[in-house]
Structure 1
Amino acid sequence: MANPPHGGDLKDLVARDAPRRKELSAEAEKLQAVVLNDRQLCDMELILNGGFSPLEGFMSEKDYNGVVEKNRLADGNLFSMPICLDLGEEEIKELGIKPGARITLRDSRDDRNLGIMTVEDVYKPDKKNEAEKVFGGDPDHPAVKFLFNQTGEYYVGGKIEAIDRLMHYDYVALRYTPAELRLHFDKLGWSRVVAFQTRNPMHRAHRELTVRAARSRQANVLIHPVVGMTKPGDIDHFTRVRVYQALLPRYPNGMAALALLPLAMRMGGPREAIWHAIIRKNYGATHFIVGRDHAGPGKNSKGDEIYGPYDAQYAVEKYREELGIEVVPFQQMTYLPDSDEYTPKDEVPKEIKTADISGTELRRRLRTGGDIPEWFSYPEVVRVLRESHPPRNKQGFTVFLTGFTNSGKDAIARALNVTLNQQGGRSVTLLLGETVRSELSSELGFSQEDRNRNIARIGFVASELTKAGSAVIAAPIAPFEKSRVAAREIVEKYGSFYLVHVATPLEFCEKTDKRGIYAKARKGEIKGFTGVDDPYEAPSGKEANLVIDLSKENVRTAVHQIVLMLESDGLLDQL
């Protein structure tokens, strides 16, 4: 018999509201609408389909306070993670959101109305307390950063009436609701199901530990990876799902099934582990593998682990009976070359030879094209990973030159463009400041806001080209550190970013200005000119990867320095 949902009833709001959906759809068009962002959409989907049972909407202040302080909803049910609709003060005022109001919740991706919320309350959370109680308060924690930098200052609570489910276009056959997955288990005759949480690719060791866990409990395996929001820098879910699909036939006798979980992870360690157990129970699992440092964000900027290695296991064990799902401790598996088998690491005698490949080492081998032995991962899995992780000399990158007008950055950019095109091996794109201004930002002026918007556009274009494997050479003035840092952050999601400060002194730039632009600026004929009546925030030694001064060296030497920098990182190595 399937494990009952958390709280007793599965809150599948779409199924429950089916008779009213047409009526609600008409009403939704007349109401003020909140357009949900990516994380809110993930939360909304799991509220609508019952994955967050017993929740029936975004948390009221009573529920929120109970969860933050005691892991309890107002009705006493165990729940460990705040699920809140965060909004800014201006949006709340503009939409007239107040207790008793009804508002439409809309999908930002396709403007579809998903449901109507009846507002119970609007409240201002104590974010400092939330950060401390829920995540441990470490300022380097990604959820703490998100809380303070990206969430609105107010939360809006209230129950939701469903209009429609979210529409997905990828891996549709693997996107089960809790009710659908429970029915699937019933059709297969599965009564005992071990759920395996993952946000990373799986290799032979993962296959071995899940098979062992299932066999020891006479159960089947549910591979239930997160495909919503994970830790920044994680491998994209498209690659990961292809890995899971490649691995699935390696399980014996149809032991395992694959289903996707549209969860926005918070990387909340102990709290997150309890939350994950609740969600898996709602999806019909009877057992749940809790790993070492389960859902932890890793180390902070000081190199210290944010959570202890077994904090998550202790937290789930504390509520084991109430959760109604058996916790299976994660066993770290190691390979024994002499017997060609995997076994739990803590069961191996000291004199026995073992072999392991760390995540860092695996990434290095993928980056360099190094050998990944079959004892570590199956060939079909490695093939998928290599498709998404080309060798270093095939990866895209961006060289971003910044400096005064007439500093020589444009000349360096053009010469570097010629050099990289001559070498071949990847496409090269040149984004000169004046070209971008005329083609992408012609409506922008030269205020700080407009300058930052211009650099944001360059960063976006560079990131997309870098993702596609191109070499990008950008050469705007980029006078403000904030916009340069933002450009680096968006590009580094997909490849390497190099900031080259062309630090030719202003006096030299002005002295060698054959177009007379500086003279016009000095006379007041050009307003907002960087270095004359507008500031330039020179990159610090920490920000700049390379500093070049064309009052002391020539363009050929400057280009050679950049090429050497790229070569030292393996980006220009020949096959």
Structure 2
Amino acid sequence: MTGPAAAPPTFTPGPDAMAHLELILNGACPLPGFMTASETASVVKRGRLPDGTPWPVPVTLPVPDELVGAERVTLTDAEGAPLAELTVSERWWAGSLPWRVNGETSGHRLAGEVHLARPPVHGVYRSLRRAPAEVRGSREIGALAHRPMLAVLTDRPLHHRALHQIRTAIKEVGRGGPVEVLLLIDAPFDDEGAVPAVLAAEPLLPPRSRFAVLTLPRAETTDGIAPPEGRTELLAAHVAAAYGASHLLINRDPDQPPAVPVPGAPVRIVAPAAWAYDIRAGAWRLADRVTAGESRSELTPTEVEDLLGRGETLPAWFTSSRVSAELARRRPARVRRGLTLFFTGLSGSGKSTIARGVADAIRRSGRTVTLLDGDVVRRMLSSGLTFSRSDRDLNVRRIGYVAAEIGRHGGVAVCAPIAPYAATRAEVRAMAEDTGDFFLVHVATPLEVCEARDRKGLYAKARLGEIPEFTGISDPYEAPGDADLVIDTTTATEAESVATVVEALRAGGWLPRMAG
């Protein structure tokens, strides 16, 4: 007799593959699972599957080496709950794709059908992550399926310009008749994104507008090669069609090129009307009706962030008070916003000493601060980890996770690990910026100065080979190119270095200005 079959290995897909998986499971993507090599090649080259079915972007599942031989794989959410089971039909190496797919351009892929294990529960605003069949069914029950439906895809708030564009599109689509409106809000799984700000604009939308939250995969460029023109718009059009839309309007920032009709789209992509604010009339008007020199365009995201960071109210000509209040809630003034202050540098560079001094200054300013020093974290949070590259990366990620949680609740986390690798620092930045702000300080004290100090005798041991993989001696330190502040403690005193960092935080708005 043979024993019971071994349980398949589990795997949590990356963000883009997870987005594809949910689109497959909810029916927005008309595929049974992840693509084979030939299917991917056909889609990349022609925008069609080998059988001629139109589909604009590859749907692939990147996996680590240890899963290449698996026959079945249980795909889970970030918390480990099973979502689906993949029956592997092909294992293939992606080679070099012409643009970044699922966050990378090469690596192992598994192809095959996926079967739902249980309905997903992960992701914020889960109650609004409505399946296409649910939306279509509710329209049919209400005898509304005969009406045209305008889907509005947005991953940003609906300011006055966007609301005017939606109203103009409704008139164009309906030609005087009633039109259903569906807001498709593209938001990350683990973050509320623009959802609250979009919902805040509901009173300004047509009555009974519907909302559905989804997560679309990102097709990024690599080496300057972008996806063929129109592919991202086509993906949005296919998803909108699955929800029963007849037309699609894509809301973009004013500094981005507008989405325009694309040949082969399953629904008509409506080109947004150009609107501008008429300064003299004090109203938004179609841009071609505003006299040159008397108009102004919508604020850019950078301008919005700057106003919010200073604690200022967004102007009424730009957005509604409800949307403004929601954005202010999510992005309070920097002096009240969570912050990860991250020091990186060689051992002996002075980063821990400076970090302690800066933490004291932040505390005196009245802000809540937590110091996550590298050595202390090693003892309290990462006890048992070695100094291998993988364990050092894990230590830094743990620091980043704790710092991000501190930032989520409005606190300041001051971190001072060596953090020698750029990729890991980028992960920490991403975690921190999901919940607050991130400020990177490179303590760029030269190696020879750090080694001369060597109060712990570590460099001497590394030179003798007693400490393997020691940063700066037998392992590299990747100097950051994205530091917000660079300081060198070779000649600067501790007090001078602390003052430099504190003044940078005050200038950025994270600390209150001194009275007088």
Query: Normalised by the size of structure 1, how large is the TM-score?
Result: 0.76
Unaligned runs of 5+ in 2: 221-226
Distance 2:52 2:141 in 1: 34
Instruction: Indicate yes or no: 2:500 matched with 1:558.
Output: no
Shift of 1:200: 0.8
Instruction: Indicate yes or no: 2:44 matched with 1:68.
Output: yes
- Which one of the candidate residues 139, 146, 151 is aligned to 2:103? 146
Shift of 1:353: 4.4
What corresponds to 1:430 in structure 2?
A: 371
Instruction: Indicate yes or no: 2:397 matched with 1:443.
Output: no
Distance 1:569 1:123 in 2: 48
- Which one of the candidate residues 288, 292, 295 is aligned to 2:248? 288
What corresponds to 1:537 in structure 2?
A: 477
Shift of 1:464: 3.1
Shift of 1:257: 1.6
Shift of 1:411: 3.1
Change (3 A) 1:280 1:553: closer
Question: Conserved in 1, the CA contact under 8 Å of 2:451 and 2:459?
Answer: no
Instruction: Indicate yes or no: 2:83 matched with 1:114.
Output: yes
TM alignment of 1:451-490, pairs within 5 A: 451-478=392-419, 483-484=424-425, 487-488=428-429, 490=431
What corresponds to 1:368 in structure 2?
A: 310
Question: Conserved in 2, the CA contact under 8 Å of 1:412 and 1:558?
Answer: yes
- Which one of the candidate residues 205, 219, 230 is aligned to 1:266? 219
What corresponds to 1:20 in structure 2?
A: none
What corresponds to 1:547 in structure 2?
A: 487
Distance 1:162 1:282 in 2: 19
Question: Conserved in 1, the CA contact under 8 Å of 2:162 and 2:251?
Answer: no
TM alignment of 1:24-173, pairs within 5 A: 30-53=7-30, 55-93=31-69, 95=70, 97=71, 103-129=72-98, 131=99, 143=100, 146-148=103-105, 153-168=107-122, 170-173=124-127
Distance 1:167 1:508 in 2: 50
Distance 1:169 1:537 in 2: 36
Change (3 A) 1:214 1:187: farther
Shift of 1:505: 6.8
Shift of 1:475: 2.7
Unaligned runs of 5+ in 1: 1-26, 98-102, 132-142, 230-235, 299-308
What corresponds to 1:3 in structure 2?
A: none
Count of residue correspondences = 497
Relative to structure 2, which stretch is displaced further, 402-411 or 363-372?
A: 402-411
Distance 2:41 2:437 in 1: 41
Change (3 A) 1:79 1:442: same
What corresponds to 2:510 in structure 1?
A: 571
Shift of 1:110: 4.4
Change (3 A) 1:574 1:522: closer
What corresponds to 2:160 in structure 1?
A: 204
Change (3 A) 1:370 1:125: same
Deviations 1:22-73 (A, max 9, x none): xxxxx998445544343323212211221112x2222233432321121112
Q: Which amino acid aligns with 1:565?
A: A
CA RMSD in angstroms comes to 3.5
Deviations 1:466-500 (A, max 9, x none): 34332222233445566555545544553132324
Change (3 A) 1:482 1:201: closer
SS in 2 for 1:289: strand
Question: Conserved in 2, the CA contact under 8 Å of 1:337 and 1:355?
Answer: no
Distance 2:81 2:354 in 1: 48
Distance 1:346 1:108 in 2: 49
Shift of 1:329: 0.9
Question: Conserved in 2, the CA contact under 8 Å of 1:204 and 1:377?
Answer: yes
Change (3 A) 1:536 1:544: farther
SS in 2 for 1:259: strand
Change (3 A) 1:337 1:256: farther
Deviations 1:354-401 (A, max 9, x none): 563233222211111223222221111111100111112223333434
Question: Conserved in 1, the CA contact under 8 Å of 2:350 and 2:443?
Answer: no
Instruction: Indicate yes or no: 2:205 matched with 1:251.
Output: yes
Shift of 1:286: 1.0
Instruction: Indicate yes or no: 2:149 matched with 1:193.
Output: yes
- Which one of the candidate residues 129, 139, 164 is aligned to 1:175? 129
Distance 1:420 1:534 in 2: 36
Distance 2:386 2:429 in 1: 23
Shift of 1:181: 0.1
Query: Normalised by the size of structure 2, how large is the TM-score?
Result: 0.84
Relative to structure 2, which stretch is displaced further, 266-275 or 242-251?
A: 266-275
TM alignment of 1:214-253, pairs within 5 A: 214-216=170-172, 217=174, 218=177, 219-228=179-188, 238-252=192-206
SS in 1 for 2:414: strand
Change (3 A) 1:215 1:422: same
Distance 2:59 2:502 in 1: 49
- Which one of the candidate residues 300, 316, 322 is aligned to 1:380? 322
SS in 1 for 2:89: strand
Distance 2:412 2:496 in 1: 20
SS in 2 for 1:238: coil
Shift of 1:403: 4.8
Q: Which amino acid aligns with 1:74?
A: P
Runs of 4+ in 1 over 6 A off after TM superposition: 522-526
Change (3 A) 1:121 1:482: closer
Shift of 1:427: 0.9
- Which one of the candidate residues 260, 265, 268 is aligned to 1:313? 260
Q: Which amino acid aligns with 2:28?
A: G
